[in-house]
Amino acid sequence: MSAHIPTGYIPQTSESLPLYLAKNLPTTISLGGEPETWKIQEVGDGNLNLVFIVSGKEKTIVVKQALPYVRVAGESWQLSLVRSYFEYHALIEERKVSGKYVPEVYFYDEKMSLFVMEYLSQHIILRNQLIAGKKFSHLAEDIGIFLANTLFHTSDIGMPSKEKKELIARFTNNHELCKITEDLIFTEPYFNAERNNWTSPQLDDEVYSIWQDRALIQSAMQYKYQFMTQAQALLHGDLHSGSIMVTPNSTKMIDPEFSFMGPMAFDIGNYIGNLLMAYFVQPALRETNAQCVDYQIWLLEQIETTWIVFDRHFRQLWNEKKIGDAYPTTLYQQGTFDVSFLKTAQDDFLSTLFKDTLAYAGFEINRRIIGFAGVADFKLIEDQNQRAIYEKSALKLARELIVNRERYPNFSLIRRYIAQC
């Protein structure tokens, strides 16, 4: 399928961008100096887009432009330019409810499939920091609050039904990137798909076993159906440690181009799955066993605390809500019921969400080890025999989280299982 390219669309370069910005930037955004003096750096090292850092005398901005194909795969994999529309609008929606955790967006050009946003000069990609063994005291709190804010306020629990349906309509056409997720996460790792890429031959037996695992594949299909049909809330859609930037005092979520209305647990599980993969590679990254154990403990604490903060903040928003047509306040706050009535509803909702979160974490692990888009955590381990040892442990945990999710009502039980892996 060829991507539709709007009339006038031109992929930008470091040479063409100053003239384009001089003509199109809003007057409220002043970089300072003449355009020909601006410093431009092309930093698009992701899978899909062009990304530029543009610096003037007074201000630095980021320019992100969609390409009509998947950059990491080349022009043979065509992709619609409209994804920039969804990323821009996702950032706008996230800023409404979680402003401090999302970069500011200054300008959007639909014809060019391009937008301009805040330059996070001090922030560094979280995945790189995890690989380096850095700790962030605020990380779990920030991620938990961001997830609770965005998932609650874009759900029927936290917004009027009419507005929720309008939000669904706005993101419905992001079907192309949803299809990528549906294929790469829920389908291709479970059969001999052409794009799969695992550590071979070291993992061959494990992968072939997964392809014959009826319980695992049945679960994958159940959750693929949930992913395709359950429009609970506005998701980031690709919330892994490469889509989060950090400083010692701040956390920002970036790159929500896969954003759509889907099951809440998908975002939470995606993030947790990436922390679990970081956990398993620690022996290869730390100099001593003591350093390894210390950082692994910190990673597990991050997972547990993130959920605790999310759970607490989500309940608080629910308790204090004034709008939201699901679980209406007129029923749950009337005088004939005490506070335990609402708590029972919340307990049931969050218990289900927790089990789904475990499953989605497992699917994220499987797809990163078996499927098309691996992660640096594993890829940086050049010795394939060594890498495969850690990947086998992660695959073992992934199956447990997916198939036996009902056995784990809390993280303390999961920690025991992880120790066995």
The encoded tokens of residue 186 equal 């829920």
Q: Are residues 258 and 379 in the same domain?
A: yes
Residue at 268 is within a domain: yes
- Choose the final residue of a domain: 86, 118, 150: 118
Whether the pLDDT of residue 167 is over 90: the answer is yes
Q: Indicate the range of 21-30, 41-50, 348-357 predicted with least confidence.
A: 41-50
Q: Are 196 and 372 in contact (CB under 8 A)?
A: yes
Tokens 């036996």 belong to 404
Q: Are residues 77 and 128 in the same domain?
A: no
pLDDT, tens digit, 9 for 90 and up, residues 303-325: 999 999 999 999 999 999 999 99
The Cα–Cα gap between 309 and 326 comes to 23
Q: Are 326 and 155 in contact (CB under 8 A)?
A: yes
The encoded tokens of residue 63 equal 């320019």
The Cα–Cα gap between 43 and 41 comes to 6
Q: Are 271 and 151 in contact (CB under 8 A)?
A: no
Largest CA distance in the chain: 70
Angle 111-113-118 (CA atoms, 0-180°, nearest 5)? 125
Q: Are residues 140 and 280 in the same domain?
A: yes
Q: Are residues 278 and 153 in the same domain?
A: yes
Kindly report whether the global pTM for this prediction surpasses the value 0.75.
yes
Residue at 8 is within a domain: no
Per the structure, the complete domain to which residue 84 belongs is given by 17-118
Q: Which of 362, 364, 365, 316 is nearest to 343 (CA)?
A: 316
DSSP state of 101: G
- Choose the final residue of a domain: 118, 141, 161: 118
Question: For the chain, how many structural domains are there in total?
Answer: 2
Q: What CATH number is attached to the domain comprising 41? A: 3.30.200.20
Q: Are residues 69 and 140 in the same domain?
A: no
Q: Are residues 258 and 406 in the same domain?
A: yes
pLDDT, tens digit, 9 for 90 and up, residues 54-86: 999 999 999 999 988 776 666 667 888 889 999
Q: Are residues 86 and 131 in the same domain?
A: no
Q: What CATH number is attached to the domain comprising 150? A: 3.90.1200.10
